Structure 1
């Protein structure tokens, strides 16, 4: 009973999709001779055992994303189900898997810096000064997040402080009149904080009619995004600088775009503690998907939402068999592969314009309101297209596997 509950909790809190967690836990219960049923909520799991009056409630909140631990737990469950691991060794083995080391501080910081700089290239920051500032801002934010994780268990403090650091660095750079892409220096480090796996897991839960859990996941992700925006704007306000206004992204050559997308995918894989030997799978999927998006937008003239939809469908078709075979969490791997398509730039630009709109009041020009509405709508449509593009093939292919 404890073994089944422990396995379910470890998978749930470290980012495994709800459906895969339920299936894995119930398979383990059946293999151990105790048919189990897992009922997930936002802050707890209820494990009931068929044919008995026994049940167990396990506190659990799905706040983390750690692919290494999910993989280790799934391997142990497979060994228990196959009979290659004695039942009396199950609990110690699961506890050991749940305590697998996360990415080191050096790895975490380097991944954040490389990923942010890669996103800068994708959005048109090709000068060395801008890329160095983007990487430095993301690295400092990552170090602060690691330090805060040992001081506070509140999950909203870290994105708030990292966003504040990004805003301060961009604002100070603007005040010094450096020849840089100020908007990208501000926005790209913040895009590393966007909680993509939680958005995808929440959307998948809604699609599978786990309404309460899906809404809770999406609310959690929305609050994190709100904290990022608040920290970013607070950084500009503290330095006395106005939030940056950015025009359309500069065109980027296909080769530079694809290489940067691959680096961004690898960086997010490292942030989510993905084993190094498995990184080539999401990197390849991400490069192919981003190349398809580049071709659709640059050559076919489609809008960013349509390009993201088709690219994410392609990525999902590639990734789904891999996550099922390797027992990795789909949301983390899928988001890693498409992170470079996230509309964080439009989202933060809309937030910046909204603050400017409020500060100007009746003096605000009509174009400012139009730009805020356009950026916000674009961000929403891209997120919707990406979510739909990722989860539809996943659910269709999963039912066939």
Structure 2
């Protein structure tokens, strides 16, 4: 192979790896897809992803390319477009010299429109309000309006700053201001008005991708992903509490929510799944699948928690394992990012209510000081531990089928 062709093939392979990595594909699938593309282009490469860059090396030579890449976003439309280009090159339906320009076109696909993004942010936040027991029309409209304003602010800020931390901070600040103002007006369920618009900001795919990297012993990358997700959660809490402080109010902790009827719970879960499909720029034709899976999973969780009397963590673990079993072969078949699709299906199970309750309790503890009642301390501990257990249950439940499926697929390929 002449040097110019080898250099072009390396450049194309590095571009494909960068696009997949930056838009939410799991690290393992990014490496597999890029190495597969390299072979189709006539080179054998090793792909080494790190936080901040990807190194693509041609095996047996000192030739390599280092490209900047940070896995900050989730865009299923772009991931699908990139994997389609890779499939076409590998199948011979797309000429090798046209692959680079096709990947550039895939990288320029627009995200979900502002109208869709805003509408589904409002729908998702209101749906989470229903799941947590807010059935009053006034409260749901207020939750939806707060989330819609936050979504518009996020899109507006994206045109001024590429920093991904600014958007959730400002959206949470808006949610805090709206909830605090509503509380001064005497409206009930203010905690849900504050929490629900913030729950749609929780970076679930980054948590799952980080956990998968840790499970595959990519320790540095996994820790970096989880640290990024943790920073976003901290900023969401900070923005929410600052919003209350700006209005001169305090966000008090609230008790556990009452369960809603099964039909209401399942329909609301489906709406929440649809909203996150919009956040992740999921093509419309793919949206029914995660909605159906999410509704099924939530029905299972509702039966385990409400009927069988199991804990929220146990119900979440079983439901997420079922989602992982159903979703894993589908995402491999369609070359979709596992973390984004799986998280979309179980987003309504995220323990945002407990996380934000614990944060509110900590602020209340600091303001009261040594005279704080013991019940406040136990409430903070209970909310924090519950949130941790549910997150662990979601993570293990989703990635365990993923890991087992990969192990089975590798063993089957080796036997062949």
Q: TM-score, normalised by structure 2?
A: 0.95
Query: 1:33-70 CA deviation, whole Å, 9 max, x = no partner?
Result: 10010000000000000121100000000001000000
CA distance in 2, matches of 1:318, 1:281: 10
Residue 330 (structure 2) aligns with: 322
Written as runs of structure 1 = structure 2, the 5 A alignment for 1:2-401 is 2-178=11-187, 180-401=188-409
CA distance in 2, matches of 1:14, 1:224: 17
Structure 1 residue 186 displacement after superposition: 0.2
In the alignment, structure 2 segments of 5+ residues that lack a partner are 1-9, 410-416
Secondary structure, counterpart of 1:136 in structure 2: helix
CA distance in 2, matches of 1:96, 1:153: 21
Structure 1 residue 23 displacement after superposition: 0.2
Structure 1 residue 245 displacement after superposition: 2.4
Query: CA contact under 8 A between 2:24 and 2:79: conserved in structure 1?
Result: yes
CA distance in 2, matches of 1:370, 1:248: 14
Secondary structure, counterpart of 2:260 in structure 1: coil
Query: CA contact under 8 A between 1:320 and 1:398: conserved in structure 2?
Result: no
CA distance in 1, matches of 2:331, 2:162: 30
CA distance in 1, matches of 2:218, 2:207: 14
Query: CA contact under 8 A between 2:253 and 2:358: conserved in structure 1?
Result: no
CA distance in 2, matches of 1:122, 1:99: 36
CA distance in 2, matches of 1:284, 1:35: 40
CA distance in 2, matches of 1:79, 1:36: 19
CA distance in 1, matches of 2:282, 2:259: 31
CA distance in 2, matches of 1:25, 1:70: 12
Structure 1 residue 399 displacement after superposition: 2.7
CA distance in 2, matches of 1:244, 1:105: 33
CA distance in 1, matches of 2:406, 2:298: 24
Structure 1 residue 321 displacement after superposition: 1.1
Secondary structure, counterpart of 2:115 in structure 1: helix
Query: 1:205-257 CA deviation, whole Å, 9 max, x = no partner?
Result: 00000000000000000000000000000011111111032111112000000
Query: 1:109-150 CA deviation, whole Å, 9 max, x = no partner?
Result: 011000000000000000001100000000000000001111
Structure 1 residue 270 displacement after superposition: 1.1
CA distance in 1, matches of 2:149, 2:334: 33
Secondary structure, counterpart of 2:217 in structure 1: coil
Q: Which has the larger displacement, 31-40 or 239-248?
A: 239-248
Q: CA RMSD in A?
A: 0.7
CA distance in 2, matches of 1:186, 1:250: 17
In the alignment, structure 1 segments of 5+ residues that lack a partner are none
Structure 1 residue 363 displacement after superposition: 1.5
Q: TM-score, normalised by structure 1?
A: 0.99
Secondary structure, counterpart of 1:58 in structure 2: strand
Secondary structure, counterpart of 2:54 in structure 1: strand
Query: CA contact under 8 A between 2:37 and 2:90: conserved in structure 1?
Result: yes
Query: CA contact under 8 A between 2:207 and 2:225: conserved in structure 1?
Result: yes
Secondary structure, counterpart of 1:57 in structure 2: strand
